[in-house]
């Protein structure tokens, strides 16, 4: 009895194994979509659509990158402030600047004139750069016209040594060695009527970098290079043309005075000629 029971159990187990193997093979051949009739189907989610940018709609990917450094806009593009409308009125040197800047020459300020003058002022660090045709702007055009050949008229003597040429007629200064210009023409302001800058050959005999006037109310005279009594080449801290003329000194913009200070020294010579416009010479 015992042997029959064991034999029966062994045969049943073998049949069960064969059935299980057959069922597994059928499932493998059918794939994952097969389901038993008495069970609920298990839905398989479809792949989410992907946009052109590679992102999944509705996905919470967190905030994107913000604007770049120095940007004033949400898209990261730098915003450059535009110039305000140019509204300066007609100036005393309107025709001169219209001609120099190749604008229609009628002596009357237009928006195009104003914008052209303002652009020129900005390019040459002339303050205020507001498009007004003033003396300072005109003087810069004179200096720039002279740059190709400042000594074309031969008024400044040509020497093998350094000569600082001071042209009172055009109110410009440059430095030359022989015929070579080593300091390009820049605008200057010289002595007013009855206090004219002294003419002829002059020699630098004293230099004082942070000089203060002992005659004119402690007026600052930066980069002063004295050539005749109290007359000197020196920079001016404020408007170069305020007041109409100096008390005899040759005034320069501060930046130009510094370059000249670095270039010249004791015993350097100047040659001064002409007459400042508006004086009796």
Q: Kindly state whether residues 224 and 129 are assigned to the same domain.
A: no
SS (H, E, C) 191-223: ECCCCCCCCEEEECCEEEEEEECCCCCCCEEEE
Domain contains 120: yes
Starting at the edge strand found earlier in the chain, the sheet holding 231-236 runs 206-212, 220-228, 231-236, 250-253
Q: Kindly state whether residues 157 and 102 are assigned to the same domain.
A: no
Q: Kindly state whether residues 196 and 235 are assigned to the same domain.
A: yes
Token pair belonging to 58: 């509705």
Domain contains 71: no
Q: What is the pLDDT along the chain (281 residues), one digit of tens a residue?
A: 433 333 334 444 444 434 444 444 444 444 444 333 333 343 444 444 444 444 434 444 444 444 444 445 455 556 667 889 999 999 999 999 999 999 999 999 999 999 999 999 999 999 999 999 999 999 999 999 999 999 999 999 999 999 999 999 999 999 999 999 999 999 999 999 999 999 999 999 999 999 999 888 889 999 999 999 999 999 999 889 888 899 999 999 999 999 999 999 999 999 999 999 988 76
Using DSSP's 3-state secondary structure scheme, residue 279 falls into coil
Q: Kindly state whether residues 128 and 156 are assigned to the same domain.
A: no
Structural domain count, the chain: 2
Q: Kindly state whether residues 217 and 248 are assigned to the same domain.
A: yes
Domain contains 243: yes
Starting at the edge strand found earlier in the chain, the sheet holding 172-177 runs 180-187, 172-177, 162-167, 269-273, 200-203
Q: Kindly state whether residues 197 and 263 are assigned to the same domain.
A: yes
Q: Kindly state whether residues 113 and 177 are assigned to the same domain.
A: no
Instruction: Specify which residues 236 forms β-bridges with.
Output: 253
Query: What's the pTM value of the predicted model, to 2 decimals?
Result: 0.71
Q: Kindly state whether residues 99 and 203 are assigned to the same domain.
A: no
**Torsion, Cα of 228, 229, 234, 237 (10° steps):** -150
Parent domain of 129: 94-133
């Amino acid at each position: 009895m015992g042997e029959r029971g064991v034999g029966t159990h062994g045969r049943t187990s073998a049949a069960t194994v064969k059935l299980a193997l057959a069922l597994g093979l059928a499932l493998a051949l059918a794939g994952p979509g097969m389901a038993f009739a008495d069970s609920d189907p298990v839905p398989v989610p479809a792949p989410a659509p992907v946009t052109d940018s590679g992102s999944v709609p509705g996905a919470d990917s967190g905030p994107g990158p913000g604007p770049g450094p120095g940007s004033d806009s949400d898209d990261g593009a730098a915003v450059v402030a535009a110039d305000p409308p140019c509204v300066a009125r007609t100036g005393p040197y309107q025709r001169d600047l219209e001609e120099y800047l190749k604008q229609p020459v009628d002596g009357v300020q237009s928006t195009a004139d104003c914008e052209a003058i303002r652009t020129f002022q900005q390019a040459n660090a002339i303050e205020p750069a507001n498009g007004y045709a003033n003396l300072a702007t005109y003087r810069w055009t004179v200096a720039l016209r002279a740059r190709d050949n400042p000594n074309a008229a031969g008024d400044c003597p040509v020497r093998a040594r350094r000569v600082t040429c001071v042209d009172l007629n055009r109110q410009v200064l440059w430095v030359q060695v022989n015929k070579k210009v080593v300091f390009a023409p820049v605008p200057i302001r010289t002595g007013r009527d009855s206090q004219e800058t002294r003419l002829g050959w002059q020699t630098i005999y004293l230099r004082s970098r942070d000089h203060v006037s002992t005659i004119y109310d402690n007026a600052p005279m930066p980069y002063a290079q004295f050539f005749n009594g109290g007359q000197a080449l020196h920079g001016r801290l404020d408007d170069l043309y305020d007041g109409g003329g100096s008390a005899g000194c040759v005034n320069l913009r501060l930046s130009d005075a510094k370059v000249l200070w670095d270039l010249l020294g004791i015993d350097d010579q100047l040659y001064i000629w002409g007459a400042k416009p508006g004086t009796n010479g």
